Amino acid sequence: MWDHELGRYDDGAGILTTAGHLLFTADTSGNLLALDPATGKTLWHINVGAGVENSPMTYRLDGRQYLVVAAADRLMAFTLPKNVIQSSR
């Protein structure tokens, strides 16, 4: 088991885990995070300028995996590297 500090408030975003062994969430400082679900280690982060107001969601289009979050009055989409996607075959 592990803990990852997300801030002092109790209104953080939800959690999304992927078949590619990533866990996405956000902290209360407006940082979108990609964590290793086995260790809790931060693999990537970006400050989106406001609190993330939803659980991150993902979709696949034309062979690319996208991650979408809402922060303030914006929707932001990020693409994942192609080597993160696991084949569904």
Instruction: Convert the pLDDT of each residue in 55-88 to its tens digit.
Output: 899 998 888 889 999 988 899 999 977 765 444 3
Q: Are 30 and 45 contacting, i.e. CB atoms less than 8 angstroms apart? A: no
| Sheet bearing 57-61, strands edge to edge | 57-61, 64-71, 74-79
The pTM of this model reads: 0.81
CATH number of the domain encompassing residue 72:
2.40.10.480
Residue with tokens 């975003």: 13
Q: Which residues contact 68 (CB under 8 A, 6 or more apart)?
A: 56, 57, 58, 59, 75, 76, 77, 78
Q: How confident is the model over 2-34, as pLDDT tens digits?
A: 877 777 766 668 899 988 889 999 988 889 999
Instruction: Count how many residues are written for the chain.
Output: 89
- State what percent of residues in the chain have pLDDT above 90: 40
The pLDDT value recorded for residue 5 is 74
Give a yes or no: residue 32 inside a domain.
yes
Residue 46's domain comprises 16-81
Number of domains in the chain: 1
What is the per-residue pLDDT for 11? 62
Tokens of 22: 């990533």
